């Protein structure tokens, strides 16, 4: 696939260019004209010799040269013949705007899309769409884009963010946002041919692209998607993903929209945790997050210690509440900072973070800049948030007030902030206005120029800031970036290993298993039992009996040979009565583990992103209280411990109400080993369940009491 011709064409043709206001063809033509001079543009129109003052050609063959890329703005039924014609001529890239393909959910639509795919493959063409708006390349100033009206003016925007949208409307919402620097916008449409992963790989390496922002309804190639996230993490380029269609009804909506079958939200969250991706669930948060990261890109805060400066007690209380709610750390000031602030703000008994400097009207500039300097110098402060001015577009009354004061509220507060931001060693600033509004473009621009983002409002602002703080923490640590997504499609047959076989397989990869044997008769049983430490556990081993306890197939706390003998008989009798036709392979005898804190460790394999490690407390804790952590394999001991730390049950592992702390080291050991096992079996493993795992006090290790491995067969 040659994406160069698609993304950076030197010659492009708009098929269906016309003057019918509101049509794809008209928008596409108007937009393409903005490219003129930088790249060669041709218009194709079968009926009109001139469109928008530009000569047209009746078809591709009539052009004086073969275009690198064509933008097809004509209806669905014309697309296949046009693509065929282009392919024959040697065109290597195309964008298809029309809807009416697989997204309709009809057989006809699917067939029509498959026809396009076959043509694209035949001629080795990079085809974006169908059902898309097109692309904007603001690095080379290429605008092959079928929508107008609220779109941005490319000429005034700098480069920075590469946007990907699997929804036309969502790409418009993002592109309409006038204050974000854009390198690229890709409206992906149905992504049948050129996929989001293809383009991510390409643009990530460009130095002008500073971060990625993705509206995602599903991935096609989880392995490559994760590789892109890995590369972004290595390059230090932030990624923001708005993953939609994650709810039950949302998945139906998204599926009928783009035909994607999404992984669950918890899987996306786990993948995002691994790669430090900021995952959001609304467009408000999406734009806030992109705004913050792209504005801060050249001076990212060193950590997540936030300080806030507000202009009233009410704002201060709200700031503290929302910070706590959304996980924004507001550490206390250093005593030296408190001392200095008392001098700057003389009426203040005890300056605290968040800081209410009150509605000062005198010496605002002076107080603001000294306050910012003092807080910024505090070793406990990595960034400062201000809610002191809204920077809203002024209304009539604001203008009146500005006349009174000789300056507006915006001017009064912006000036010291911008001045502070210019000083060497200053920490990054951010403005979170309390309420929604349209911001004043001039002040927003000046603040942004100084690296100060203005967020949408307090709710979205603090919610996003909490996520940005997690990202800032992520950047300070080392991570296992390797991914374990499947290399090939697994078989359809499902193969459950018996407990015995599961444990053998797992002990082969270094997991500590209790001594065990499957025996056919009592003689063998007593021989094996003689080699084991008491008490023993005896269990039926049968592929047909899944619920062993229910079938009377489990006997515990066995000490003597007599008890062993009796248990053998009882299990067989009970299981035969329970299910007379069950195939009984034998009796599993094992050393019974003493009770410990009951955990469950498991693997579930996502079809896109591969094996996910699960950890939680056993029994009702995971199932009723949903207290489980998930992380993509493989992972490090540190990451395994972070998983445990994220559980509410972590308190119990750390020793609760006088009980001894558990052997977390031994537990994370098996988590790491299982993640490696799962990675090595990525193409065949379906799920794995160690439940319960008994965890003993520090230094005493763990016991894997029960194990189940389920694989895909061929």
Query: Minimum Å distance from CB 400 to a copy of itself?
Result: 7
| Residue 324 or 665 with smaller CB distance to a copy of itself | 324
For 336, the token pair is: 């030296």
> Please, are residues 69 and 145 in contact by the beta-carbon 8 Å criterion?
no
Compare residues 242 and 490 and give the one whose CB is closer to a copy of itself. 242
Question: Cβ 166 to a copy of itself, closest distance in Å?
Answer: 8
Return the number of the residue (21 or 478) whose C-beta is nearest a copy of itself: 21
> Cis omega before residue 328 (within 30°)?
no
Cα 234–237–238 angle (5° rounding)?
Answer: 115
Burial label for 35, CB within 10 Å (0-12, 13-18, 19+), is buried
CB 168 → a copy of itself: shortest distance, Å?
7
CA–CA distance, 257 with 164 (Å, rounded to integer):
16
- Of 557, 559, 597, nearest in space to 692 by CA: 597
Other beta carbons within 10 angstroms of residue 332's beta carbon come to 12
Q: Which C-beta is closer to a copy of itself: that of 120 or that of 447?
A: 447
Nearer to a copy of itself, 249 or 489 (CB): 249
Using the minimum distance from each CB to a copy of itself, give the nearer residue, 48 or 247.
247
In the complex, the smallest distance separating the C-beta of residue 426 from a copy of itself, rounded to whole angstroms, is: 24
Alpha helix (H) ranges present in 326-449? Answer: 335-344, 364-377, 396-405, 409-422, 441-449
**Residue closer to a copy of itself (CB basis): 148 or 697:** 148
* Least Å from the CB of residue 394 to a copy of itself: 9
Nearer to a copy of itself, 181 or 356 (CB): 356
Q: Least separation, in Å, of the C-beta of 603 and a copy of itself? A: 23
The answer to whether 640 touches 668, Cβ cutoff 8 Å, is yes
Q: Give the Å distances, CA to CA, from 41 to 24, 29, 33.
A: 17, 9, 7
Instruction: Evaluate the omega torsion of the peptide bond into residue 543 and state whether it is cis, within 30 degrees of 0.
Output: no
Burial of 109 (0-12, 13-18, 19+ CB in 10 A): buried
Which residues, 6+ apart, have CB-to-CB distance to 304 below 8 Å? 328, 329, 382, 468, 469, 470, 472, 473
State in angstroms the smallest separation of the CB of 409 from a copy of itself: 8
Number of other residues whose CB lies within 10 A of the CB of residue 469: 22
Strands (E), 217-305: 239-243, 278-280
C-beta of 56: minimal distance to a copy of itself in Å? 21
Sheet holding 306-310, edge to edge: 355-356, 306-310, 383-386, 429-431
Measured from the CB of residue 167, what is the shortest distance to a copy of itself in angstroms? 3
Nearer to a copy of itself, 353 or 483 (CB): 353
Buried b (16+ CB within 10 A) or exposed e, 664-686: bebbbbbbbbbbbbbbebbebbb
CB of 247 or CB of 560, closer to a copy of itself: 247
Is the Cβ of residue 339 or residue 403 nearer to a copy of itself in the bound state? 403
Which residue, 61 or 150, is less far from a copy of itself as judged by CB?
A: 150
Residues pairing with 518 in the sheet: 588
Minimum distance of a copy of itself from residue 398's CB (angstroms) = 6
479: which 2 tokens?
């991570």
Please tell me the distance from the alpha carbon of residue 470 to that of residue 630, in angstroms, as a whole number: 17
- Report, in Å, the least distance between residue 562 CB and a copy of itself: 27
Q: How far apart are CA 515 and CA 503, in angstroms?
A: 10
Measured CA to CA, the distance from residue 237 to residue 10 in angstroms comes to 28
Cis status of the peptide bond prior to 535, with omega within 30 of 0: yes
DSSP class of residue 36 equals B
Where on the phi/psi map is residue 350: left (φ > 0), alpha (ψ -120 to 50), or beta?
beta
Residue 193 CB, nearest distance to a copy of itself (Å)? 19
492 backbone dihedrals φ, ψ, rounded to 5°: -95, -25
Compare residues 403 and 527 and give the one whose CB is closer to a copy of itself.
Answer: 403
- As measured in angstroms, the least distance from the Cβ of 677 to a copy of itself is 29
Give the shortest CB-35-to-a copy of itself separation in angstroms: 18
Report helix, strand or coil for 310.
strand
Question: Omega into 354 within 30° of 0, i.e. cis?
Answer: yes
Rounded Cα distance, 326 and 462, in Å: 6
For the bound state, the minimum distance from the C-beta of residue 659 to a copy of itself, rounded and expressed in Å, comes to 11
Name the minimum Å distance from CB 91 to a copy of itself.
Answer: 29
Nearer to a copy of itself, 284 or 382 (CB): 284
Nearer to a copy of itself, 151 or 505 (CB): 151
Alpha carbon 489 to its chain centroid, in Å, reads: 23
Residue whose CB is less far from a copy of itself, 283 or 501: 283
């Amino acid at each position: 696939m040659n994406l160069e011709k698609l993304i950076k064409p030197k010659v492009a043709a708009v098929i269906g260019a016309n003057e019918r206001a509101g049509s794809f063809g008209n928008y596409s033509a108007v937009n393409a004209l903005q490219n003129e001079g930088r790249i060669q543009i041709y218009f194709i129109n079968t009926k009109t010799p001139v469109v928008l003052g530009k000569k047209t050609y009746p078809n591709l063959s009539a052009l004086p040269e073969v275009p690198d890329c064509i933008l097809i703005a004509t209806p669905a039924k014309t697309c296949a013949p046009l693509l065929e014609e282009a392919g024959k001529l040697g065109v290597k890239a195309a964008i298809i705007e029309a809807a009416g393909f697989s997204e309709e959910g009809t057989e006809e639509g699917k067939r029509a899309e498959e026809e396009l795919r076959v043509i694209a493959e035949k001629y080795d063409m990079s085809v974006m769409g169908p059902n898309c708006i097109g692309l904007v390349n603001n690095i080379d100033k290429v605008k092959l884009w079928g929508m107008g009206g609220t779109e941005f003016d490319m000429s005034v925007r700098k480069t920075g963010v590469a946007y990907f949208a699997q929804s036309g409307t969502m790409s418009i919402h993002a592109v309409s946002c006038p204050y974000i620097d854009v390198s690229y916008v890709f409206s992906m449409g149905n992504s049948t041919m050129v996929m989001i992963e293809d383009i991510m790989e390409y643009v990530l390496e460009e130095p002008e692209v500073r971060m990625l922002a993705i509206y995602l309804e599903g991935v096609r190639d989880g392995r490559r998607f994760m590789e892109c996230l890995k590369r972004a993490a290595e390059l230090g380029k932030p990624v923001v993903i708005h993953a939609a269609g994650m709810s039950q009804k949302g998945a139906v909506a998204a599926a009928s929209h783009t035909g994607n079958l999404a992984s669950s939200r918890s899987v996306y969250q786990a993948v995002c945790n691994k790669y430090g991706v900021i995952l959001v669930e609304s467009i408000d948060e999406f734009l806030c997050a992109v705004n913050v990261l792209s504005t801060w890109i050249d001076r990212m805060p060193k950590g997540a210690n936030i300080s806030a400066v507000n202009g009233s007690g009410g704002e201060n209380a709200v700031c503290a509440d929302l910070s706590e709610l959304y996980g924004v750390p507001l550490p206390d000031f250093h005593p030296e900072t408190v001392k200095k602030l008392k001098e700057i703000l003389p009426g203040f008994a005890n300056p605290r973070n968040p800081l209410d400097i009150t509605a000062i009207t005198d010496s605002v500039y002076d107080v603001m800049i000294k306050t910012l300097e003092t807080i910024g110098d505090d070793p406990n402060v990595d960034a400062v948030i201000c809610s002191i001015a809204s920077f809203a577009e002024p209304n009539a009354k604001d203008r009146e007030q500005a006349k009174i004061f000789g300056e507006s509220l915006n001017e009064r507060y912006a000036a010291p902030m911008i001045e502070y931001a210019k000083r060497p060693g200053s920490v990054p600033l951010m403005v979170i206005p309390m309420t929604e509004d349209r911001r004043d473009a001039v002040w927003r621009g000046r603040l942004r120029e100084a690296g100060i983002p203005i967020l949408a409002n307090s709710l979205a602002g603090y919610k996003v800031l909490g996520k940005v703080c997690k990202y800032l923490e992520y950047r300070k640590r080392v991570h296992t970036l390797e991914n374990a997504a499947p290399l090939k499609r697994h078989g359809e047959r499902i193969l459950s290993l018996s407990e015995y076989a599961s444990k053998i397989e797992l002990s082969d990869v270094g997991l500590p298993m209790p001594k065990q044997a499957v025996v056919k008769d009592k003689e063998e049983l007593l021989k094996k039992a003689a080699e084991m430490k008491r008490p023993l556990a005896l269990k039926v081993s049968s592929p047909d009996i899944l619920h062993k306890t229910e079938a009377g197939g489990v006997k515990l706390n066995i000490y003597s040979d007599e008890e062993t003998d009796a248990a053998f008989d009882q299990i067989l009798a009970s299981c035969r009565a329970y299910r007379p036709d069950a195939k009984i392979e034998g009796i599993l005898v094992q050393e019974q583990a003493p009770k410990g804190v009951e955990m469950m460790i498991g693997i579930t394999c996502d079809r896109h992103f591969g094996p996910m490690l699960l950890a939680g407390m056993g029994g009702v804790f995971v199932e009723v209280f949903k207290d489980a952590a998930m992380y993509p394999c493989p992972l490090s001991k540190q990451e395994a411990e972070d998983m445990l730390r994220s559980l509410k049950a972590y308190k119990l592992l750390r020793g609760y109400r006088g009980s001894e702390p558990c052997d977390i080291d031994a537990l994370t050991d098996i988590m790491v080993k299982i993640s490696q096992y799962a990675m090595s079996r990525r193409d065949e493993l379906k799920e794995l369940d160690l439940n319960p795992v008994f965890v003993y006090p520090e230094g005493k290790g763990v016991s894997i009491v029960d194990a189940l491995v389920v694989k895909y067969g061929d």
